[in-house]
Amino acid sequence: MGFVVVATALAVLALITQAGVLALQRAYPRQGRRVEVKGACLNVLDTGPRDTSTPPIVMIHGASSNLRTMRLPLGDMLAKTRRVILVDRPGHGWSPRQHLEDSTPAIQARMIDEALEKLGVARAVIVVHSWAGALGARMALDYPRRVAGLVMLAPVAYPWRGGVGRYTEIITTPVIGPLLAYTITLPLGYFLTEAGARKVFLPQTMPDGFVENTATPLLLRPRAFLANARDLVTLKAAVREQAPRYAEISAPVVVIAGDADKTVWPDIHSRPFAATVPHARLLILPDVGHMVQNAAPELVIREIDAMMGRLAPRESYPKPPRRA
């Protein structure tokens, strides 16, 4: 009898989850267009004026989010005067990836580099946040000709003590993880998402409507939740492997972090990274937490503009391919 009750409850939760997925995708439709790459179909939002004399700005979000977290407010502000390309990382937002195992910065950097090639982007200033700090560093290492400059906001760059949370680790285990993701994660997460987002903003206050405006609940879809968990669980080993190469980065780099960040500690990540990379500039913002792009968007824009100003004008930033 007990087994029947549990099985029935799981079946009901699975139906609720599937209905929830459909509701979320209607509530938060795609922003952007598809770009097919090996192993994924990336969702890319290409906005702002085209200026072929300077490289575009490519913005890449961190964990548990999607491109809208980089669009509001920073991306929209930059797009008033610059070409801005926002990317849903593979497995996130509206970018499905074929294999959950494609979770490392190296693999995702290869996918994004391929997408930029298809968009006709020869060089770009890459702006990354949090988890994507490791990805931005990997792009600068593996695809230096693509990276004209790198702006890192509260970046992950090195291994850290501890794990990534017990539930996240359980979600990556065979059988049990998918069972949870396809039954209880969405109904439970619906009630916990806003509180979790508020915690990441501390000591700043989360803007009103942030969760809705950034389509954060898209994370609760089973495949997105599984992909995000895999990204988090495999990140420590990935940065351990690539960190010895950081001194090879030749692109100009600006690292901006808050000294009150309790999500990605600047003493573990930002300070040693900036001390290792040859052409790196470090800004530590007092009393600022993890969401640097929301706490100080004008400062970030000034740093991006300053970097763009130092880049020599080129004829090699081609116009994007004509769209059908």
pLDDT per position as a tens digit, 80-119: 999 999 999 999 999 999 999 999 999 999 999 999 999 9
pLDDT per position as a tens digit, 10-41: 899 999 999 999 999 999 999 999 999 999 99
Per the prediction, the chain carries an average pLDDT of 94
The percentage of residues in the chain with a pLDDT greater than 90, rounded to a whole number, is 90
Query: Could you give all domains of the chain from N- to C-terminal order, each with its CATH number?
Result: 2-310 (3.40.50.1820)
In this prediction, residue 320 carries a pLDDT of 44
How many CB atoms lie under 10 A from the CB of residue 306?
A: 13
| Average pLDDT over every residue of 228-244 | 98
CA 219 to chain centre: 12
- 3-class secondary structure, 280: strand
Comparing C-alpha atoms, which of 230, 200, 229, 197 is closest to residue 214?
197
Contact between residue 186 and residue 21 where contact means Cβ atoms under 8 Å apart: yes
Question: Looking at per-residue confidence, does 318 or 205 come out higher?
Answer: 205
Comparing C-alpha atoms, which of 129, 295, 63 is closest to residue 202?
295
| Average pLDDT over every residue of 220-230 | 98
8-state DSSP, 10: H
| CA atoms of 178 and 231, how far apart (whole Å) | 15
Does the predicted model carry a pTM greater than 0.85?
yes
Angle at 289 between CA 88 and CA 307, to 5 degrees: 60
